[in-house]
Structure 1
Amino acid sequence: MIRTFRQLATTGLLAFVAATTAHAQNYPTQPVRIIVPFGAGGVTDITARVFAEGLSRELGQPFVVENRAGAAGGIAGALVSKAKPDGYTLLVITNGMFAVNPLIYPSLAYDPKKDFTYVAMLANTPTILAVNPSSPYASLPELVKAAAAEKDKLSFSTAGEGSDNYQVLQLLQQATGTQFLAVPYKSGTESLTAVINRTADATAISAVSAVSFVDSKQIRPFAVTSAKRLANFPDIPTVKEALGKSVEGGSLSGLAVPAGTPAEVVKRLNAAIAKVAGSQLVQERIYSKGSEAVDPTQIAFEKRVRDEQAKWATMLKAVPK
């Protein structure tokens, strides 16, 4: 009797493994949803749509982008955390969602450490620190000097707590020992408009979104928050070049799936993302526009998540309440 039970159990396990393997080998057999946590037109949305196009070609099924904005990514995070873990619902997750939001919001509808499997990074998009062209400050050192003279004297617009320019502001303040008056808006567009309208003294704008505003001289760029100058902005120095202090930040995006998604599905997705990342499509429409290429391996993404979580846990302890 015991032997028969064991045989049945073993047979059942083997059948389950075989079915799971077959599912992974055939994946995908239907359209795949990519949930974007922000509205259409932003850098995260643009990145998602370009990769969706590439993945559709690579894997032979439509990858359909759905924008689920709200709650600083909380609506999208909650939706995907509760989705069936079969590889047909993906989440574009950002460093703000997995490293910053858990520290600044009392409760989240998702747990970034338990609810997701991190598949691959897509791109890192630094920001450009900028002011209005009529600003009395002609350089980043002048702006920082003025901010250091009096706490909360100069205003810095952001897209709200946890956003990429909020993160850059924290990094800049820590590096320079200053404290700007942080002014939150509902979106990156509104925070940029505040500088254009001279409602705010300074901001940080995504390098991808900044192109037309720099070209039309609606903003005066001071420095880019990356390790090296960007190919499409060769005349804009890095913060380290401008100040002698390193400030590297912006929006890191990657793809995640619900925890429990079969490992073979994750592996297949990761391999496809790596191929798309190296394609001419992504090179021309993402990496040449101000975003930076990143290591597409799963182990690199998992390490980056842990590093970002540790960094911001230390960083935000010092943020004035």
Structure 2
Amino acid sequence: MKLGLRRRLAVLLGAALPMAAAWAQAYPTQPVRLIVPFGAGGVTDTTARVFAEGLTRELGQPVVVENRGGAGGSIAASAVAKANPDGYTLLVITNGMYAVNPLIYKTLPYDPNKDFAYIAMLANTPTVLAVSADSPHKTLPDLIKAASAQADRIAFSTAGEGSDNYQVLEVLQQATGVKMLHVPYKSGAESLTDVMSGNTDVTAISAVTATGYIQAGQIRPYAVTSSRRLANLPDIPTAKEALGQDVEGGSLSGIAAPAGTPPEVVARLNAAIGAVAGGAMAQDKIYARGSERMDGSQEAFTLRVAQEQKKWAGILGRPGK
């Protein structure tokens, strides 16, 4: 009886495997949602839209960007973590969401180590520390001097705790020993607008989107948060050159799916993302403007997640979960 049952199960399993493979090969058969954790206009949104356009061609189905900002990306991450793991709901995930949020929020509606399949990294983008064009603080040392005179005298705006510009300003404060007032928004674009209007003093804007504002004279760039000067912004010094302190950081973005997504679908998406990353559109709109192309393998992404978690646990002085 037991032997017969095992045989029947083996037959059923043998039949199911080709069906699963055929289903994965047919994927996708309907539009795919790409959830972006911040509002429109920032570097994460810009990168997502370039890849969505390219993936639409590669996959043969519309890849539709959906912005769900708030709580440092936690709202978007929670929605995708709870989604059906069928490859039709994907998440643009940043290092803040899997490495910083677990350290700054007491509870999270998702577990970065259990709820996602990390498919591929998209780009690593440093930021530009910048103030309004008419700021009274002419240099980065001037700003730090003003912040040193009185805690919370200088205000900085970001896309929320856990966002790339929040990370950079957190590192800046730790490197210099100053305390500034944090003013969070739902997107990098909103935080930049606040600086340009004079409501806050400083922000960190992605190197991809900074060029136009600099050329238009709308912001005064202080420094780039990278280890070396950027090819598209060669006249802007690094933070170490400007301040004598290492202040490195930015947005490391990638695409993830809900845990349990079939491996065949993950592999299909990984190959499609790699094709887009290697194309002329991504080169022109992302990598030639200050972003760095990353190793596109699933293994590299999973390893980088662990590395970022360890790094930020050290910076924030708290053990990772």
> TM-score under structure 2 normalisation?
0.91
Write the deviation string for residues 201-258 of structure 1: whole angstroms up to 9, x where unpaired. Answer: 2221122222222112121101111222222211111212323332221122110001
Q: Is the 8 A contact 2:155 2:201 kept in 1?
A: yes
**What amino acid is aligned across from residue 253 of structure 2 in structure 1?**
S
Unaligned runs of at least 5 residues, structure 2: none
1:160 corresponds to: 160
2:16 corresponds to: 16
- Residues 1-321 of structure 1 mapped to structure 2, 5 A cutoff: 1-317=1-317
Distance 1:31 1:67 in 2: 16
**What amino acid is aligned across from residue 156 of structure 2 in structure 1?**
F
How many angstroms does 1:90 deviate by?
A: 0.9
Change (3 A) 1:118 1:291: same
Q: Percent identity?
A: 65
Distance 2:121 2:239 in 1: 24
Distance 1:134 1:174 in 2: 26
Distance 1:159 1:280 in 2: 29
SS of match in other structure, 1:175: helix
**What amino acid is aligned across from residue 231 of structure 1 in structure 2?**
A
Aligned residues: 318
**What amino acid is aligned across from residue 287 of structure 1 in structure 2?**
Y
How many angstroms does 1:262 deviate by?
A: 1.2
Q: Is the 8 A contact 2:208 2:290 kept in 1?
A: yes
Write the deviation string for residues 128-173 of structure 1: whole angstroms up to 9, x where unpaired. Answer: 1012233333322333344345443332222322222111011112
Change (3 A) 1:137 1:41: closer
SS of match in other structure, 2:292: coil
Distance 1:190 1:93 in 2: 20
Write the deviation string for residues 72-104 of structure 1: whole angstroms up to 9, x where unpaired. Answer: 322221221122212121111111211122222
Change (3 A) 1:167 1:219: same
Distance 2:17 2:174 in 1: 51
What's the C-alpha RMSD, in Å, of the aligned pairs? Answer: 2.0
Q: Is the 8 A contact 2:73 2:163 kept in 1?
A: no
**What amino acid is aligned across from residue 234 of structure 1 in structure 2?**
P
Change (3 A) 1:121 1:309: same
Distance 2:299 2:32 in 1: 23
**What amino acid is aligned across from residue 125 of structure 1 in structure 2?**
T
Runs of 4+ in 1 over 4 A off after TM superposition: none
Change (3 A) 1:191 1:42: closer
